[in-house]
Amino acid sequence: MPIYEYVCEECETRFEKIVINRQQEIACPKCASRKATIQLSVFATANGGSNGASAKSSTSSGGGGGSCCGGGCGCN
- What is the 3 state secondary structure string of the chain? CCEEEEEECCCCCEEEEECCCCCCCCCCCCCCCCCEEEECCCCCCCCCCCCHHHHHHHHCCCCCCCCCCCCCCCCC
User: Which parts of the chain sit beneath pLDDT 50?
Assistant: 54-66
| Strand duo 14-18 + 36-39: pairing | unpaired
pLDDT at 70: 53
pLDDT at 54: 44
Phi, psi of 57 (to 5 degrees): -70, -30
